[in-house]
Structures are given as structure tokens and as C-alpha cells.
Amino acid sequence: MAAIRWYHIIDLGNGIVTPGQEDCAAKLGMLGMPASLAGRTVLDIGAWDGFYSFEAERRGAARVVATDSFCWDGGGWGTRAGFDLAREVLQSRVEDRWMNVSDLSPDHPGVFDLVLFLGVLYHLEDQLPALRRVASVTGEQLILETVCDWIGTPQPAVAFYPGSELGGDPTNWWGANPAAVEAMLRVAGFRKVVLHYLQPLPLRLGIAVSAAWRKKQSFRSRLRQGRAVFHAWK
């Protein structure tokens, strides 16, 4: 485990916890994943180390498929090693498909009751075509988590990051505001869209102060950014 660069903090049992960067368990309440997934099928797009795939299985999902490409290919600083090790240790039945978002279709990997699309959208150059692909494999509900920008602007608006303006990461491309994300989801084919969670102003304020103090980003630009979760239904 120590030889792997983890992103997800995963409890592997027997007091062993992966040394990741994201406390996924703490994030579950924000996401609003159903407490019981008994009998349902789940697709986790951009699974990385697989915490949410394994959590869906733990909540009783009849079938869980994890997909990834960028992280599993080693294109970023992550690899697939964490997912493989966690699946083995947890004795999980989660299936895997090595594929890009652009490869998703009702034929492969199929259509699923619940689709998880967490922390992926803002990394994609072509967001609307990607959401159409996601919609094509969503049978009932989508849970989407993403970075938003221009928070507070009522009309749809999108910030473009041609370099490493967002978090110093050149793989971050777009920051759509909540109105734009909702509009894109509807255009992609979802009949109902709800903004389930938006990072509250006091939290964004604290992050903006810290970013400005560390000279990572201007206070004003960081204040208008935050994480959001959308629930959408076909």
C-alpha cells in the first residue's frame, strides 16, 4: 500500500486506511447518494481509486461498474494500482472498464440505474458532448459533482482556464456556474435537475482568504468558485 500514490482515503478494514488526499467518507453527506442501493445497478465514471464504487457495493447495489482512463493510464499522477489493490483486499465484485467518457454508450458499458460522475466534468475539454454520453448510459438518476465558477451570476456563464489558472492544474478546463451546469444537463437529455449542494459562502470565503494569503490565486477570483453537486433524472 505504501508504494502507491493514493487519492482516495479508503478504509480497508483491520485498522488499515489508505493515505489518500480526499476524505471521501466525509464527502458522502454532501453527495446525497441513496442510503440503500439494493437491487440497483451503478456506474462510477472516473472511479480512480474506487472509493465510491466500493461504497455503492456496500450499500447493496446488485452490480457496480467502475470506469476510468486518464487516472488509470497514469496520465496524471495517479494509476490504477490503488483500485486493483483495494478491490482485492475488500474482496469486491466491482467490475472495471478501461474507457474514456467519449466511449460511453448504451451498448458499452450499458445503461445503469444510478450514474456517479464525480470530479470529472471540469477536466473535460468538450463538456456538452460528454454530458450527452453520460445521459445515454443513465437509466434513472445521475449524481454529478464538479467545480463551479461565477457563482452568484444568475444567467448561464462559463469560465475558461486555458492554462493552469484553476488550482495550478493544466487538466482543469472549464468552470461553469450552477445555471450553466443545469442548462447543459437539460440539453443533454435530463428532464429534472436539482442543485443538491453548493459550497456555502463562509467556507468559500475562508478558502479564498487562504489562497490569497498563499499567493495561489486572487481573493476575488477564488471567492466566486466552489464545489457543487447536482442530481438529475431521465
- Is pLDDT of 159 > 90? yes
Residue 66 lies in a domain: yes
Residue 10 lies in a domain: no
Residue 6 lies in a domain: no
- Is pLDDT of 220 > 80? yes
Name the domain count of the chain.
Answer: 1
**What pLDDT is attached to residue 121?**
97
Residue 7 lies in a domain: no
Question: Cβ(137)–Cβ(110) under 8 Å?
Answer: yes
pLDDT tens string 139-152: 999 999 999 999 99
**What pLDDT is attached to residue 164?**
76
Over residues 155-159, mean pLDDT: 96
Question: Cβ(9)–Cβ(18) under 8 Å?
Answer: yes
**What pLDDT is attached to residue 38?**
98
Residue 194 lies in a domain: yes
pTM given for the model: 0.95
120 contacts: CB under 8 Å, gap ≥ 6: 45, 46, 101, 146
Q: At 41, which CATH number?
A: 3.40.50.150
Most confident of 44-58, 154-168, 216-230: 44-58
Find where cell 465558477 sits: 149
Residue 90 lies in a domain: yes
28 contacts: CB under 8 Å, gap ≥ 6: 55
pLDDT tens string 71-123: 898 766 789 999 999 999 999 999 999 999 999 999 999 999 999 999 999 99
Work out the pLDDT band at 217, boundaries 50, 70, 90.
Answer: confident
Distance CA 229, CA 143 (A): 7
Work out the pLDDT band at 218, boundaries 50, 70, 90.
Answer: confident
pLDDT tens string 35-79: 999 999 999 999 999 999 999 999 999 999 999 998 898 766 789
Residue 124 lies in a domain: yes
Domain that holds residue 172: 22-233
pLDDT tens string 165-199: 777 778 888 999 999 999 999 999 999 999 999 99
Distance CA 115, CA 119 (A): 13
